[in-house]
Chain A
């Protein structure tokens, strides 16, 4: 259909075309996400004996663990949206397993990630209801600085914003589990440190957690929503050209497709985007940069 023909359609008709395109990409089993989720966890576990036995230096372990921590968020993100298996289905256990294990290198509790991420989808860019609103910043450098500020003990954003949101939603069960998870993480770090493995613990878990968090905040929260001042369905998220390319940006160049159709598997969003782009343009979406 030509641009001119599309522009003569009503928003409802355009939405129908958009849904038809989305449907073609939904429902396929995300093998790569499952493999990546398990692979990240096993790969990260394997780094421990490699570094502890001096097979590889701690700095190399740090680089590998940070890359794994960042990549690991993606399979968990698929699980957060039930893309691997829907609730009640035969493979639901696999969805939950991937969700949990792939974010271990990032030390991110899966339950907390799922609830807060879904709220982010429901209330994108809403100053009070979007738990990721605190990642808002005027430019790339200030976005990195803002992500660092969000992990400070008394920050408004980050984990403190997530905690406030869970309380407001009455999800004290998730909050309690997340608090236990974080406490167990800190106690493990302390135990490793006092048993003579502080450098290894810092290189393989503590630093990757922080660097990974900043990277994910930048590419998943800040970049696709910048300047985060609109809340309408076709305006709160954008497509953009990332300096680090699509792989370096964790595929977030096409994040608008994910927000419009969260059940499209991550690896199919570029294809869906290019098919949908004329329709999205006609809907007034922010797709002008890519």
Chain B
């Protein structure tokens, strides 16, 4: 049970990394660069979308690049 849970977490690595690190990183980079975002989007939402654009393919392909 514990082993299976750990395996599942390990296999979801790219998605977890996308949510846990890349999302706030992208949001804070957008804030720091003073970029104006389209559709009145918040930096956090934009960060989330950017992070997912990287994390979802990484999750499927098993590689970031």
Is there contact, CB below 8 Å, between A153 and B58?
Answer: yes
Per the 8 Å Cβ criterion, residues 110-145 of A in contact with B are: none
A206→B13 CA distance, assembly (Å) = 15
Max chain A Cβ within 10 angstroms of own Cβ: one of B25, B32, B65: B25
Interface of B (DSSP majority class)? helix
Binary flags per residue of A178-215, CB closer than 8 Å to B gives 1, else 0: 01000000100110011010110110001000000000
On chain B, which size bracket covers the interface? 10 to 19
Report B9-50 CB contacts with A as 1/0, cut-off 8 Å.
000011011001101110111001000000000000000000
B63 touches A149 (CB 8 A): yes
The reply to whether B14 and A153 contact each other, CB–CB distance below 8 Å, is yes
The one of B24, B32, B63 that contacts A152, using a Cβ cutoff of 8 Å: B63
Are A153 and B13 in touch, CB under 8 angstroms?
Answer: yes
Pairwise interchain contact A206-B63, C-beta atoms closer than 8 A: no
Residue of B nearest to A154 (CB): B62
Q: Is the CB of A153 within 8 A of B62?
A: yes
With contacts A198-B24, A199-B29 taken as known, whether A148 is within 8 angstroms of B65 at the C-beta atoms is yes
Interface residues of A (CB under 8 A from B): 148-149, 152-155, 179, 186, 189-190, 193-194, 196, 198-199, 201-202, 206
Given A152-B64, A186-B20, A193-B28: 4 more A-B contacts, CB < 8 Å: A153-B64, A186-B16, A196-B28, A198-B29
